[in-house]
Chains A and B, each alone.
Chain A
């Protein structure tokens, strides 16, 4: 049986309009053979997690460059845990200071990427993570 492609929900929570990075990454993931559900702008954490649930996604990727990363990542992670998606990867990128990345990592959020990081690093990270965390 053919292997299922990795499914990634990509969204921009909050009011940040900078979608260049999210779009470039979404395309790189597709070219790497993953399935991407691109939600676009102005998403609430609730809508993002609902989409991930409906799509049975392996990964949620958030892009935030506006400085509002803490409450959004926190809320999305909470909702994932509550709705039975605690075993899926929450990752993302934007302008996120190292200190905040560490706090988020302590809450179970995956690796976060920043300016200058190559999209291929994200592809490799997601592949590796999914391989190491087979679904029960």
Chain B
């Protein structure tokens, strides 16, 4: 009865695999070209006139095998550059990641120090709270026309949009984390006459780090969601532009491939922050 003694990890791995097989099967059945039926009923000449002979009824939605071929081709040459409308997936993703990182770190550079100030001062907290509450729910893309009008540069505008959407979770979490540093730790540093600079970096920052990092993780998640939409709007380069371009080319295979890659990159970015979060976590 060895099969009954699978570990939890093995069980979930098996279930994951089974789900994947079912998914492929459904996909295959849904996209299978109905070649035999057509070949029997329709005059081949007529079929040829209708464009493409026996394969005519195959939709532009790929079968799993076609998809796998595309993924393989595209991933084996990710960095080619054949002009503005034909670049490798690696280049497109690199543009997007660069914009996200630029906007994200600009936001962190503003949000974390500002959050420190807000978290340390009730007056600042209450003074800035209405602005934060008003600005936070605005869709970042709503800023796009304003950004394009003032900055007059498409790429910089999308960085600005990333900046503005990354700002709020980091600002709010930093302020919250700093405001909730345990009083006893602050009392300890007061009795030890720790200077404000050292207190900020050795006591408040590590105490608030898990909360700050949780905010950064949320910001990064939102930034990666927003960059796709932003690049669809501004065009030129990036994974968002790639999706839109391939939709205009009616290449559903490439669109699907891009969707898949957006998911992979998003997952990697998120788990990086998860890893960082575990490094600064502490157990009381």
A and B: bona fide binding partners: no
